[in-house]
Amino acid sequence: MSTHEPPADRDGSPAPTGADSLSRSAVVSGVGSGVASGAAAESPERGRERAGDRDSEPAGDRTGDRTGDRAGDSVGDPVADPVGDPDEAEGPEQEDQKSGRPGHSRSRDLLLLVGICLAALLLVNAFVARPFSVPSGSMEDTLRPGDRLIANQLAYAFGGHPQRGDIVVFDGTGSFLRESAKPTGFWDGARSLARDLGLAPAGDTLYVKRVIGVGGDRVTSTGPGAPITVNGVPVDETSYLSPGDDPSSVAFDVVVPTGELWVMGDHRSASRDSRDHLGEPGGGFVPEEKVIGRADWVVYPFSRWTGLDRPAAFAVTAGTGGHGDQR
């Protein structure tokens, strides 16, 4: 008996050789080792059959299966929107529309704010602090032509009175200027209101001078080279008089009526003030009610920015009479 005869398989058929031998052996061993090993050892013919089945499926089915698989894998997870959040993509106009506001509401708010600021400025200008431009050199060197000053309109608003040494802005109508005989019309009133609000030029009826005497004071001068006296007390004015000027080149002796003021410029040789109106109906005196405010600051030019304090020279007149001693 020949010993080289190939062994028989269990069913009596000759044992396969080559690749078939490996395939059959894998199948047999797969039965013993479980499903996982059998799947790993599929025959090439079975693999080709499955590949053919996939090739015969429509492309849409395969795409759907893959999409379904991915969707199934991500069940329960939030899906990102590639377009983005619609609320985030909305601009200011869409937000205004959603909130019920028109698109031009911001411009309207800005205009309202500007209007409020202008109204506040007009009120301050009319009742609190008012700017003026110095028209002449009658107050040099304290004030120069073109200086912009601020008149404090509250300085005498609550029962106060101008004091000796104050620089005041006043309306000279009726004292330095004659009252107009022409009746006041609508446009005259409108122009006056515009001047009070600072919307129109102040005109040529406003003056800025220094108060020398108040109601009840006796103010005198004996002429060039002599000091001015208030209630018999000489006043040293060298701290503010224009260099080279005498206190007065004109002799006078007046008693200031109650409620009125005697005013003079610091540049005495170039100032038309109370001295120049002695023979006129008002006698050169300025009613306190015509005073617009006390000049407290020079604000322009910026190089001349300064406060206008009451000079100490008038401290010697304290207690000598006049309403200035009642405060």
Q: Which residues are catalytic?
A: 138, 209
Q: Residue 194 and residue 24: Cα distance in Å, rounded?
A: 116
Contacts of 97 (CB under 8 A, 6+ apart): 103
What is the spatial distance between Cα 96 and Cα 180, in angstroms, rounded to a whole number? 59
- Sequence-distant contacts of 128-131: CB under 8 A, at least 24 apart: 128/152, 128/153, 128/154, 129/153, 129/293, 130/169, 130/198, 130/292, 130/293, 131/198, 131/299
**Is the preceding peptide bond at 145 cis, omega within 30 degrees of 0?**
no
| 94-128 burial: b if 16+ Cβ within 10 Å, else e | eebeeeeeeeeeeeeeeeeeeeeeeeeeeeebbee
Tell me the C-alpha distance between 29 and 265, whole Å: 129
Q: Judge residue 130's burial from the number of C-beta atoms within 10 Å of its C-beta, 0-12 exposed, 13-18 middle, 19 or more buried.
A: buried
DSSP state of 277: G
The token pair at 222 is 């004996």
206 DSSP 8-state letter? E
Distance between CA atoms of residues 230 and 211, nearest Å: 12
- Which residues have CB under 8 Å from 161's CB, separation 6+? 214, 215, 288, 323, 324, 327
CA-to-CA distance for 272 and 265, rounded, in angstroms?
7
d(CA 257, CA 228): 18
- Count Cβ atoms below 10 Å from residue 1 Cβ, excluding itself: 3
